[in-house]
Amino acid sequence: MIRLGGWCARRPGGAAVPPGRRWACPGPPVRTGRAGCRSLRVLVDMDGVLADFEGGFLRKFRARFPDQPFIALEDRRGFWVSEQYGRLRPGLSEKAISIWESKNFFFELEPLPGAVEAVKQMANLQNTDVFICTSPIKMFKYCPYEK
């Protein structure tokens, strides 16, 4: 069941709701604010939203592999850093992955300019709940703890 505010995209039992129709969700009510309005829930990602993943990656890559080619931030394309590095030169994909699999990579990422202040402002808005929502990188023992 996909919860959309106080409504569901599926009926109890799993049947889809026809387009343009709503079905009241069973379960606990949505929290309401002082004026009786539903609270807005904001989910904020960490990598590339709060934390400078790309900049942190590039600094560490250049420090660890100074003689290897690199991709400047303005030339980065796509979601997966390792795929673009793999196209640049054979073997660079594995080197790129080794950067974010290293201890303290996520812990040492700098916040993006204005990101922390923006989240604090959202958190102070009436009837607004802000949550950090991120996912750890697969097969990485440090990432969940550091995030």
pLDDT tens-digit profile of 99-138?
988 889 988 999 999 999 999 998 899 888 898 888 766 6
Would you say residue 38 has pLDDT above 50? yes
Average pLDDT, the chain: 77
How confident is the model at residue 97, as a pLDDT?
A: 92
CA distance 129 to 32: 11
Per-residue b or e along 83-95, where b marks 16 or more CB atoms closer than 10 Å to that residue's CB: ebbbebeeebbeb
What count of Cα atoms within 13 Å lies in the side-chain half-sphere of residue 133?
7
- Which residues are 51's β-sheet partners? 47, 111
Given the residues 47, 67, 75, 129, select the one marked as catalytic.
Answer: 47
Please confirm, yes or no, whether 47 is among the known catalytic residues: yes
- Which residues are 7's β-sheet partners? 4, 24
Architecture of domain 40-145: Orthogonal Bundle (1.10)
The predicted model scores a pTM of 0.66
pLDDT more than 70, % of the chain: 66
How confident is the model at residue 106, as a pLDDT?
A: 87
Closest CA to 76 of 91, 87, 65: 87
Domain boundaries, the chain: 40-145
Given the residues 45, 52, 75, 129, select the one marked as catalytic.
Answer: 45
Would you say residue 144 has pLDDT above 90? no
